């Protein structure tokens, strides 16, 4: 499946319908009064947060959204129909910014959430409204109010509980595939993963969403590699799982590079709770593994987990550590243990 996490969209609400000028015309009724109806209201532009969507891909194909104009008023005091709304369906985690891409308008996080971004114009009054004791045959009606328009930026920041970070080839996608039903692409070369991928992990009665993102390299914050373009997707995570490849010659260096990039990104990612693990333990002889774990412990300031997604070693303890942090974070936000039914990453 393709993925898109940024989109620029033009939206416009509907104009109101015009009021009508009309007079009652019936046999045997002289001087039938004014009976022009009001115009209908123009359609609104509505943002709706929906489940079962985790990309903004639809907005690659359509960038203009216009609500319909209200119907014009008609004779016999008939009002025009309201114009149809236009609804932009957005995945949970979408932030909506103004055209300058800086001012946040709204942040849609809960499926079902709806925000009226632009209201349609009101319909104009028909001439029946202008009847008075001094003017019993008003020949005026109001035009409908025009709709409003604006250009917005949509930015998707996936809502995952835990995020996988590490150098390319560290085994992030293999980890995700081993603990969830997700099927990310796995291969023996850097930058296999080009787009974030989510998986649901179920452990001891806690469900949580784990995000796999493309690997980071030194200078990612300056645009090297795929850059830090996808780091935004771990901004909302409660905890990071930092994988360091045990087959990498210098794990301490690998660790420092990623920490440096997290810091340089600027959204306080470096302050997030972090579970550190030496991955691919099955691929390295025991004595070498020991030395590497020691070097990593020195760089990180605490003992890393030593795990392997292939042999399954220490996978459950790693998940337990993540789940513990996530549970605490959810308790702080008063969230239930499980996500509400119907929620899908």
Ligand X SMILES: Nc1nc2c(ncn2[C@@H]2O[C@H](COP(=O)(O)OP(=O)(O)OP(=O)(O)O)[C@@H](O)[C@H]2O)c(=O)[nH]1
Residues binding ligand X (CB under 6 A): 166, 168-174, 186-188, 190-193, 214-215, 279-280, 282-283, 308-310
Site for Mg ion in 125-144 (CB under 5 A): none
By CB under 5 A, how many residues form the interface with Mg ion?
4
- Record the tokens describing residue 79, joined without a space: 């009002």
Burial letters 9-23, b for 16+ CB under 10 A, else e: bebbbbbbbbbbbbb
Strands 239-245 and 274-279: parallel
- Record the tokens describing residue 176, joined without a space: 């995700």
3-class SS of residue 275: strand
Nearer to ligand X, 181 or 187 (CB): 187
- Compute the least distance from the CB of residue 8 to ligand X, in Å: 28
Which DSSP string do the residues of 100-134 spell out, in sequence order? TS-SEEEEE-STT-EEEEEPPPPPPPPGGGG--SS
Nearer to ligand X, 143 or 190 (CB): 190
- Compute the least distance from the CB of residue 307 to ligand X, in Å: 7
Angle, alpha carbons 176-223-177 (nearest 5°): 5
> Strands, E, within 145-287: which ranges?
149-156, 162-165, 197-203, 206-212, 239-245, 274-279
What is the rounded distance in angstroms from the CA atom of residue 97 to the CA atom of residue 99?
A: 7
- Contact partner, 72, from Mg ion, ligand X, none, Cβ < 5-8 Å per class: none
Looking at the DSSP assignment, which residues form a beta bridge with residue 326?
Answer: none
- Compute the least distance from the CB of residue 236 to ligand X, in Å: 21
Site for Mg ion in 174-203 (CB under 5 A): 192-193
- Compute the least distance from the CB of residue 225 to ligand X, in Å: 9
- Compute the least distance from the CB of residue 216 to ligand X, in Å: 8
Nearer to ligand X, 102 or 188 (CB): 188
Q: What's 167's DSSP letter?
A: S
Nearer to ligand X, 47 or 167 (CB): 167
Nearer to Mg ion, 67 or 262 (CB): 262
Nearer to ligand X, 50 or 310 (CB): 310
- Compute the least distance from the CB of residue 165 to ligand X, in Å: 9
x-or-dash pattern for Mg ion, window 144-173, by CB under 5 A?
----------------------------xx
Task: State the residue for tokens 């942040």.
Answer: 107
Interface residues with Mg ion (CB under 5 A) are 172-173, 192-193
């Amino acid at each position: 499946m393709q993925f898109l996490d940024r989109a620029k969209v033009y939206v416009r609400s509907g104009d109101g319908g015009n009021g009508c000028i009309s007079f009652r015309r019936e046999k045997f009724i002289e001087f039938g009064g004014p009976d022009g109806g009001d115009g209908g209201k123009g359609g609104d532009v509505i943002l709706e947060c929906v489940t079962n969507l985790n990309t903004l891909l639809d907005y690659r194909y359509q960038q203009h959204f216009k609500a319909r104009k209200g119907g014009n008023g008609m004779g016999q005091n008939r009002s025009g129909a309201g114009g149809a709304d236009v609804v932009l369906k957005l995945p949970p985690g979408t932030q909506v910014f103004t055209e300058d891409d800086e001012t946040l308008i709204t942040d849609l996080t809960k499926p079902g959430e709806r925000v009226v971004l632009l209201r349609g114009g009101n319909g104009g009054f028909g001439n029946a409204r202008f009847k008075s004791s001094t003017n019993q045959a008003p020949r005026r009606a109001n035009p409908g109010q025009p709709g409003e328009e604006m250009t917005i930026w949509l930015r998707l920041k996936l809502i995952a509980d835990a995020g996988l970070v590490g150098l390319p080839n560290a085994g992030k996608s293999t980890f995700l595939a081993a603990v969830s039903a997700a099927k990310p692409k796995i291969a023996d070369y850097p930058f296999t993963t080009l787009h974030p991928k989510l998986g649901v992990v179920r452990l001891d009665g806690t469900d949580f969403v784990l995000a796999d993102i493309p690997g980071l390299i030194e200078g990612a914050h300056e645009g090297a590699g795929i850059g830090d373009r996808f780091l935004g997707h771990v901004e909302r995570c409660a905890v990071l799982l930092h994988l360091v490849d045990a087959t990498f010659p210098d794990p301490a260096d690998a660790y420092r590079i990623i920490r440096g990039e997290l810091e340089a990104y600027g959204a306080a990612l470096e302050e997030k709770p972090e579970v550190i693990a030496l991955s691919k333990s099955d691929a390295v002889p025991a004595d070498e593994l020991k030395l590497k774990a020691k070097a990593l412990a020195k760089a990180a300031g605490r003992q890393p987990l030593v795990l392997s997604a292939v042999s399954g070693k220490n996978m459950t303890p790693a998940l337990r550590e993540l789940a513990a942090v996530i549970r605490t974070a959810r308790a702080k936000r008063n969230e239930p243990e499980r996500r509400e039914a119907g929620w899908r990453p």
